[in-house]
Each structure stands twice: as structure tokens, then as C-alpha cells.
Structure 1
Amino acid sequence: MLDERDAAGPGRSWAADVPDGTTPIRAAGGVVWRPADDPGPTAVGPGARRAGVLVCLVHRPRYGDWSLPKGKLEPDEHPLLAAVREVAEEADVRAVPQTRLPSVRYRSEGRPKVVDYWSMRAVADGGFQPGTEVDEVRWLDVDEAVRLVSYPHDAEVLAAFATLPAVTGTIALVRHGHAGKRGTWSGPDTGRPLDARGWAQAQALAPLVALVRPARLLSASARRCVQTLDPAAALLDLPIEVSGDLDEPRPGQQPDECALAVAARLTALAASGEQAGVCSQGKVIPAALERLSGRAGDFTTPKGGGWLLAFAGDRLLAADRL
């Protein structure tokens, strides 16, 4: 691996110097934070200000550098899963992802490398033990961390983190998986079940929903929505609460009415301070997110897709695609 100190910044384009067909190396990591007055990650609570938080840096003896914890994706691994896993492996910290941070690009082993980052709240640690990959972990305020990191692109990610408001609630919002075609189902549409493709999507969503460490799982009343959360419920040992407030419009019902109901339910969940996993429907998710964000945007959500939502109280700060 080439020394990252020769790396380009996040904005560099590789179009001119990467051979056609070169596949970038993919990696992921996080800016992991805890309140500055905490004795350790196990005592972290929501609502800390960025000015009063400590962030985690790791020292890699192989390179003699200080950097944000990160690592390569395993085959077919989702970047967000990789980011949380690598933070746990390198810093021995369990963390809840909150918002997407800028990705960085540089050359490694003669190839372009892309590293995706998320802001993460530390919730537990296992008692770090020095190893050959990482031999020291430090918790520093953001200014100290910016001065210590070995690479400009890490400093830029930290600077982006420093501008974020404090996140107090996180929700994994997903749309149900594939359930065949409505025209081929003879029963009521609310009873239409997931098909084989939909069950595969539900299985893939389960570990992503689990990343936010939800205290509750809520589903729209359609059978396919409940089934989409079944693998997550089994993984987390949580019941699924069925709520008509998350349903798409019924015949004769105004779409705006449903969008308001979904937005209100998500806001109430976030304001409670509890993390949650929620499954709703494609005809209502985009409009609800537009209302929560206060802006028009592309919130189209494919079946089996979803969003990582970060709130400050009852205000949506970020909606990042899963």
C-alpha cells in the first residue's frame, strides 16, 4: 500500500490517470464521538455538542500514522456495515452510525481508493488491547484531532463533522421488499406477501436496521411490510409494532394526509430519544421525507431500500440512503 501522505484530497478526479476498467478499492470508517466529560464510551448519552465531544483516532505502527479508524470492505459487504465493523475491530468501540460524512479518494497499491465515512456515537467498548494493526487509541477534541492526523483528507472529514449539529435520535426507515405484482394477487392487497426476492431483500436489510440499535420496530399494516422486518426482529429479539399511521393512502384517502401521519410518527419516535427501525410503503415515504426535510428532493425509495435518518429533537438533520 502506498503511503497515504502522498494521497490526493477528496475532490481529486481519477479520470485522467486510472486505466479503463480499474476497480477502485473500497473502504469505510467513521468519526466516532463521545461527550468530553464521559469517563468512556459506555457512558455516552445523546445530545452532546460538537464543541464538547471527543473523537477517536488510531495509531497504525505499520505506517507510523494517526488516522480515523477505517478498513477495506469484505466481498459484497455494505459500506455502512463495514464502517461499523472496522471501528469495532480497530478501536474496539461499538458505535451507532448517525450521518454520512464526505468520502475521500486517494491512490493505494497503484489503484484509486474510495473511503466512505459516517459520524458515529460510541455506545460501548471492549477494553482496547494494542495489536500489530493498531497499537494506540486516543480520544481528543476535534481541534486536537485535526492537528494530530497524518493526512489532509482526514482533517477535512473531521472539519465536516465539526459543523454538524448534535444528533439526538436515529431511525432506520425502509420500504418493504419485493412482493410480486398486485394484479396477480387475488386477495386483499394488504395481505400480499413477500416473494423470494423480497425475502432476500429483508434478510439483507436486517443487519442494517440493527446498526442503529433500535429499541422499537414499527411497521405499516400491510403483510409485506411486517414480513420485511421479520429478519430484523429475529436478529434483535424485538416485537414488531403494527401501526396504520405508516400506511400508504387507501382508496379515497388524501395522500397528504398519509404523508403527514408518517412524518408525525417519525418525528415522535425521534423526539423520544429512542432509536427505531421502521418499515413503510413507497407511495408515502417520499412525501413524508419531503415534509420532514422542508425541501423538494429525490426521496424515491426502491423496494428493499431505505434511509438512515438523523434528528436533533424533532428536526430532521440528514436523510442518507441505505
Structure 2
Amino acid sequence: MSTATVIAAGGVVWREQRGERQVLLVHRPRYDDWSLPKGKLVPHEHVLVAARREIEEETGQRVILGPSLGIQRYDVRKNGTRVPKMVHYWSAAIDGRAREFEPNDEVDKLDWLGVEEARSRLSYPRDVDILDLLAGAAEVTSSLVVVRHAEAVKRKDWDGKDTNRPLTGEGQETAERLVGVLAALGVDRVFSSDAERCTATVAPYAQSIGKKIHLHPEISERGYEADPDALRGLGDQAWRAGKVTAICSHRPVLPALARELSLPVGKYAPGAFVVAHTLASGRIVHERFGAP
């Protein structure tokens, strides 16, 4: 019988303090170790949401997730046997000022340390490996989240204009679950096709942060078919320095949109998305996720 893998998520929490980059380590009394904050996913939780939640629960800090720092794989004991564990890590920048920490059963102490001191303090070499990847990922200049709209009513089942075709019940639930995902990524601008199925996918998040949706008819199916060149220049608007922009569009448009945004072309299932970051070096890093 195969053993289910334990999935967990966390991050390297960092800040700039007096010109020095500091990272946050946690002390767990149960193991008497110093480690990076992380924890297991709860049922049906998206891994990005879990990473942000676990960091806040263990440290009291609200963070915004940046580029991936990789995955750890090792075995742990569970119910008297050893099972595989997979831990996803992201760069996690403090959202605002550091907050007060209250010790709890899982974490009794935490410490802000310079990177070299943190390397020496960490109890596990695998955590040092993750920490070492922060240097190449922390300095993000701008970020994008490119989303295909969630599941919509099928064309054959809809008698109205295609642009008004709504989400299904499952699509609406996906849109609600996207709220936590986009919050974890710190999205602060929302672009969308003007089709109902796109705007409805990102509307719950836009409402949650009190922002309007910037409508772009040129990335709707109708607009793209009418003028495939109209989306040129959107990349300059989307890759705005210091901003995290979500863009919702359609399957037939996404390949051209990806090229305009300097991202790899790939297939998107309904509700799936790509998170991309431009680093200070000019390099773009990205990772792909299924619908939450």
C-alpha cells in the first residue's frame, strides 16, 4: 500500500533593517531546534494560502509571498511509521512593519538574524540550502499573476451573448478561493477581459481590497479576434515597478498574452494561473498552479 505524502508550506521571512537583510527563524520547544516557519496544509487548502497562514500562525507576521525557493523532501514519523514529507518554500517579505510575537505551544521563541548568523543558527542543513536561495530571489521589481477565468457555463447551454456567459457554481467557488491566493501574493492591481466570466473570476478579490477592475476588451475573445495586435503594449502596463498585477483572460487569448508579457506559452485549465516575478537582474522567474 502506498503512503500518502505529507504536504507542508512555509517561507524564508525577511526584511531590510539598517541596510542589512535579516531573516526570521523560529525555535520549536518540542524539538529544541531553530528552523524556518512552515506547517502542514489543511484539507482543500491551496499551498500558497497555507504558506502565508502557517507563517503568520508561527511568527505573528503578515507576509507577501515572492519567488519560490524550492521544495524539501524527507521522511517523518507518523502513526508509528515513516512517511514522505514535501515542504514548499517561498521568499516571504514582511507586509508592513514587524508585529509583536506571542509564544505558543509550537514556537516559543523567534529571532531576527543577519543571513550569515542565520545560516549558523539553523539546525538542519536542508534549511540552509533553502536560505541560500533567498539572495537570488528577494529583490523583485514587479510581479504578475496571469489567470484563466474559472469554469463558465458551456456555450451550448447559454442563449445570450457570449460576452455575458456567467461562471458555473463551481466557477464561482473557484473565484472565492482565489481571494486567499491573490492576497498571499500581495496583488494590488486587477486587469481583466470585459467578458462576464473573466470579471466574475477576479471580482471577489478586487472587492476584498477595495480596488476597481481595469477592463481590457483587447484581451477578450471577441476583442482579440477583431484585432490580434491590440494587446501590444499591455506588457509595459502590466509589468509596473513595485506592483503585483493580476490579469484574467481566456484560453484562446492566453498564448498571445503570454508572449506579450514575456512568459512561456502553455495550457491553462479553467481557474489555473501563473505567478511571475521580474528580479532586479532583469530575469523573469515563474511557476504554474492549477485552480485553487
TM-score band w.r.t. shorter chain: 0.7 to 0.9
- Unaligned segments of structure 2, at least 5 residues: none
Amino acid at match of 1:177: A
CA distance in 1, matches of 2:281, 2:44: 35
- Which one has a larger percent strand, Structure 1 or Structure 2? 2
Does residue 1:320 correspond to 2:292, yes or no? Answer: no
The 5-angstrom pairing of residues 293-312 of structure 1 reads 293=262, 297=264, 299-312=266-279
CA distance in 2, matches of 1:56, 1:161: 12
Q: Which residue of 2 aligns with 1:251?
A: 225
Q: Which residue of 2 aligns with 1:264?
A: 236
Does residue 1:159 correspond to 2:140, yes or no? Answer: no
CA distance in 2, matches of 1:69, 1:106: 16
CA distance in 1, matches of 2:94, 2:48: 15
Find the partner of 1:277 among 221, 243, 246: 246
Amino acid at match of 1:190: T
Amino acid at match of 1:206: V
Find the partner of 2:6 among 14, 25, 33: 25
Q: Secondary structure at the match of 1:224?
A: helix
Does residue 1:178 correspond to 2:151, yes or no? Answer: yes
Find the partner of 1:199 among 167, 172, 194: 172
Amino acid at match of 1:227: A
Q: Which residue of 2 aligns with 1:287?
A: 256
Q: Secondary structure at the match of 1:180?
A: coil
**Alpha-carbon spacing, 1:153–1:286, altered in 2? closer, same or farther (3 Å):** farther
Does residue 1:62 correspond to 2:22, yes or no? Answer: no
The 5-angstrom pairing of residues 116-265 of structure 1 reads 116-124=88-96, 125-164=98-137, 166-248=139-221, 250-254=224-228, 257=229, 260-265=232-237
The answer on whether the counterparts of 2:224 and 2:230 sit within 8 Å (CA) in structure 1 is no
TM-score (norm 2): 0.88
Amino acid at match of 2:46: H
Q: Percent identity?
A: 36
CA distance in 2, matches of 1:26, 1:252: 45
Amino acid at match of 2:125: P
Aligned residues: 283
CA distance in 2, matches of 1:309, 1:258: 23
CA RMSD of aligned residues (A): 2.3
Q: Secondary structure at the match of 1:93?
A: coil
Q: Deviations over 1:265-294 (max 9, x none)?
A: 322xx32x2333332222233333344346
CA drift of 1:242 comes to 1.5
CA distance in 2, matches of 1:119, 1:290: 26
The answer on whether the counterparts of 2:10 and 2:39 sit within 8 Å (CA) in structure 1 is yes
Find the partner of 2:44 among 70, 73, 76: 76
